[in-house]
Chains A and B, each alone.
Chain A
C-alpha cells in the first residue's frame, strides 16, 4: 500500500537553530499538507501546497516557516529559528484529486526544541 514517508522520525534541536523536516508524498498525489500536533492536543493545520505553491496557510505558519518541493518527490518544511513552543509532532499528508480516500498521513517527525 502506498505510504507517505517522513524523515527524520525524531529531531532534537537547540532553540534558534534551523530545522528541515522532510516528506515524500505518495507519487500520484497532487495536494500536500503539513500538520502539527502538540503532545496530547488536536492535529492542527499548518499549510497546504498545490501546483508548486502554497494554497493556504494557518496563523501558526508565520515567517519562520517555509515549505518547498525541491524536486518531483520531496516536500519539505523548514523552521528558520526554532522556539521552545515549536516542539511537537509534525505530520506530512497528501491526497489525490478525489477525496474518496481521504488524506494519507506520514508517521511524523517528533521535533524537540531545547
Chain B
C-alpha cells in the first residue's frame, strides 16, 4: 500500500535538474513531499490536495495527476543544499504512509 518512488537514487551536478516520481496502486487524494537530511527529521516541503494541482517552493515544484495516481517532484537548477532523501507520502485514512525514498546527491 505504500507509494512507490523512482528513481531510487540520483546524482547531479550543481545547476542540473531532477525529477522524482511517486505512484500509487490506490486512489490518491493527497500527496505530501518531504526532504530528510542525514541524521535529521523529515521536513515538510509541500502538499498537493487536488488532482492536477501544481505547487512551487523556491525552485522545487510538484504536480499531481489524480487519474494516473502519480505525483512528480521537480528540482530545477539544483543547489548543494538540495542533497538529501526525498519522500513522497500519501495520507490514507488519516495516517501518512511514506514511499521508500529517493536519495539525491548534488555535487559541486
Contact = CB atoms under 8 A, between A and B. Distances in A.
A56 interface: yes
A99 B87 contact: no
A28 to B, nearest CB: 16
A43 interface: yes
Contacts of A108: 40-41
Q: How big is chain A's contact interface, by range?
A: 20 to 34
Interface in A26-43: 31, 33, 41-43
Contacts of A93: 96
Interface in B11-48: 30, 32, 34, 36, 40-47
20 contacts: A33-B95, A41-B100, A42-B2, A42-B98, A43-B98, A45-B95, A45-B96, A45-B97, A55-B95, A91-B42, A99-B30, A101-B44, A102-B44, A102-B45, A102-B46, A103-B32, A103-B96, A105-B42, A106-B41, A108-B40
